[in-house]
A and B are shown apart, each in its own frame.
Chain A
Amino acid sequence: MENPYLPYPVRIDKITVETEDRNLKTFHFVFLNPEDEAKFAYTPGQFAELSIAGKGEIPIGIASSPTEKGFVAFTVNKVGLVSSYLHNMKEGDVMGIRGPLGNWYPWHEMEGKNVVIVGGGFAFTTLRSSIIYMIHPENRPRFKDITVVYGARTPGMLLYKDELAAWEQRDDIHMHITVDGTNDPAWKYNIGFVPTITEQKITSADNAIAIVCGPPIMIRFTQPVLEKLGFPPERIILSLEMRMKCGIGMCGRCNIGDKYVCKDGPVFSLAQLKEMPPEY
């Protein structure tokens, strides 16, 4: 019988420190058994359980894109037992990943539409996966305008800085990078909170779908901005987080009403969330 709790063994191939506070690191994993990579076929928006023998598992969004072959990447904030241990692991160490788990962004619905991505802080991981996926030459013609608003507290807290700079140079994606504040005279992008910059830079909801990922406070203030722009709740897409164990809808803790964030989510439309109890 297939065992959905058994992680695929992986080796840490590369570790990148992302932020100036060193609390966020990106881990590239390579499968020890090459055939496992094909079994781990994923879609942007999904997550996986990172498994460390002796410590446990943590659910983390997949930051790499299925168009990137040979590895999977996760950006992990150091908060608890497992993530703190992971932050002290080295390249070459062996651990496990289990997944892919959960649903994904509504790629089918997004085809032929303008895509607006609004991200804040370290919730940008599955959005990075989505951007890489969309701007891949094979996929780019499937989407119309792609506009990204991404903000962090300070320039040093932005994730994927090199990629952000590269995307800024492209003409097939509109980037609006912002920080809450900075005294860096060399800062050449926006200054202001994400909802404010969204209001300034996004001008239309016509034929558009918005994906929003960020801290609760950012989501709370971005939601009215998008609604004012004319985005109906069906076209505002959010990704949620919950404490999880099994990741397959069995252990019972990540429910919101009769939905499990791990299996029925983590991606929900605002229309769906309005029908669910506000318990998240």
Chain B
Amino acid sequence: MTERVYTKEEWIRGLEGLREDYTLFVPVKDGDFHAFMPMNGEKVPDFDFQNTRLSPKSVIYPRSERLFEYILGNTDPEANILQESSKDFSPRAIVGIRPCDAQAFQIVRRNFDNPEYRDPWWVRHFESTTLVGLGCSEPCSTCFCTAVGGGPFHEDGLDALVFDLGERYLIKGLTDKGEAFLAKMNGGKPAGEAVLKAAEDLTASASQKITSSPPTDPLKEKKINDLFNAPFWEEVAFGCLNCGTFTYLCPTCWCFDVQDEVLGKEGDRIRNWDSCMFPLFTLHGSGHNPRDKKVQRVRQRFMHKLKYYVDKYDNGVQCSGCGRCVRYCPVNIDIRDVCERMNNY
């Protein structure tokens, strides 16, 4: 395992030098928030952030993605036959991704890459992407990664991990992909004992700063139908606007819609992020809708993340504890409270 130390200036220069090998996605200050954007010489990376408002899930799973193309008509023998759109699967790296957001890709992977089917776009985007994490020295009050099997310096799901030691960065290679990234990066020097000790202390103190931690272990023992029929869903849903904001912010929400778009004689089949908060999500052609009430959709949101996923994969909850849905919900619905209600029912 490679462990190297960079001054902060060296680090930025090192990244600049990697732009030939990777498309780098880095945190950039954009208005009041940070966002992951391609490092293209114009955008200045800013690693002094708590977390980006939107998770970097769109790097691997774009909000709108062209899947197929076709021409319409009845004269061309190729007309009306779908052709897979060509894509760029050249190497990318997300530099500065928080451990919770990296963990989220592992959670989502169980959906898109399973023994029966592999989603060809998600899988190839994922495989071509190196995740260089930045540990959280100062977690937010809404963070609860430690409750869902993660932590502010959690390594699972990352290819390399960076520690912010004030004047300097320590970077650790964790996987072959991460080592390849480090091997190509110029600058830095091997880390000494003192630096490694400082990183250890940082990890310990950061973990202690995360105080909100609803346990998620009890969920497994509950029965789906018991939780489904619990009386508290009406209360949880009371203030809900069904706005769907969390589904777009959440790094583990993966549901999508597929639409055809036509311009003249040419068309595309496109997939877009979708949301279980919208009645159209489940509306049948006949007019019947199994989740036509708000409370049913709110229940689906939490049951999917905290119960159905738990039962289906036997690998924890479908949540990485990033806290975005807690911070940005317009009516203060808090997944930690809902989890506690489910635990205690």
Interface residues of A, Cβ cutoff 8 Å to B: 1-7, 9, 32, 51-58, 77, 79-80, 83, 93-96, 216, 241-243, 245-246, 248-258, 263, 275-277, 279-280
Task: Tell me the minimal C-beta distance from A248 to chain B in angstroms.
Answer: 5
Closest approach, in angstroms, between the C-beta of B279 and any C-beta of chain A? 11
B224 at the binding interface (Cβ < 8 Å): yes
Q: With a CB–CB cut-off of 8 A, which chain B residues contact A263?
A: 116
B284 to chain A, nearest CB (A): 5
B308 touches A258 (CB 8 A): yes
The tally of CB-CB contacts under 8 A between chains A and B is 135
Taking a contact as CB atoms under 8 Å apart, the answer to whether A53 and B308 are in contact is no
Whether A258 pairs with B116 at a CB distance below 8 angstroms is no
Known: A53-B267, A83-B285, A96-B81. A251 touches B117 (CB 8 A): no
The majority secondary structure among interface residues of chain A is loop
Contact of B282 among A4, A6, A9, A253 (CB under 8 A): A253
Q: Which residues of B contact A246 (CB under 8 A)?
A: 256, 258
Residues of chain B with a CB closer than 8 A to A77's CB: 285
**Interface contact B259-A56, CB-CB below 8 Å:** yes
Beta-carbon contact of A258 and B224 below 8 Å: yes
Per the bound structure, the CA–CA distance linking A251 and B80 in Å amounts to: 24
Stretch in B67-75, B137-145, B154-162 with 4+ CB within 8 Å of A: B67-75
Assembled-state Cα–Cα distance A257/B274 (Å)? 19
B21 touches A (CB below 8 Å): no
Q: Pick from B70, B82, B254, B262: contact of A252, CB below 8 A.
A: B254
Inter-chain contacts of B286 with A (CB < 8 A): 79
Shortest distance between the CB of B116 and any CB in chain A (Å): 7
Whole-angstrom distance between the alpha carbons of A277 and B303 in the complex?
Answer: 11
Please tell me if the beta carbons of B285 and A248 are within 8 angstroms of each other in the complex. Answer: no
Given the complex, which residues of B lie within 8 Å of A2, measured CB to CB? 118, 120
A277 & B225 in contact (Cβ 8 Å cutoff): yes
Q: Is B257 an interface residue (CB 8 A)?
A: yes
Kindly state whether residue B79 has any CB partner on chain A within 8 Å: yes
CA distance A279 to B292 in the complex (A): 10
B residues in contact with A279, CB < 8 Å: 228, 290-291, 296
- Would you list the 4 A-B pairs with minimal beta carbon distance, nearest first? A252-B255, A258-B308, A79-B285, A277-B228
Tell me how far the C-beta of A225 lies from the nearest C-beta in chain B, rounded to whole angstroms: 23
In the assembled complex, which residues on chain B have CB atoms less than 8 Å from the CB atom of A95? 80
Other A-B pairs, 18, CB within 8 Å; known A245-B257, A253-B274, A253-B282: A1-B124, A3-B84, A6-B84, A53-B72, A53-B80, A54-B70, A56-B259, A80-B285, A83-B285, A94-B79, A216-B288, A242-B284, A255-B300, A255-B308, A258-B224, A258-B311, A258-B312, A280-B290
**Inter-chain contact B257/A243, CB cutoff 8 Å:** no
- Chain A nearest CB from B169 CB (Å) reads 36
Residues A9 and B285 in contact in the complex (CB < 8 Å), given A245-B258, A252-B274, A277-B224: no
For the complex, what is the distance from the CA of A27 to the CA of B221, rounded to whole Å? 48
Interchain nearest-CB distance for A202 vs B (Å): 28
For the complex, what is the distance from the CA of A276 to the CA of B80, rounded to whole Å?
A: 40
B123 within 8 A of A: yes
CA distance A22 to B228 in the complex (A): 41
User: Do the beta carbons of B256 and A245 come within 8 Å of each other?
Assistant: yes
When the two chains form the complex, which single residue of B111, B256, B262 contacts A54, counting CB atoms closer than 8 Å? B262
* B residues 80-128 touching A (CB-CB < 8 Å): 80-82, 84, 111-112, 114, 116-120, 123-124
Closest to B261 in A: A54
Q: How far is the CA of A276 from the CA of B227 in the complex (A)?
A: 12
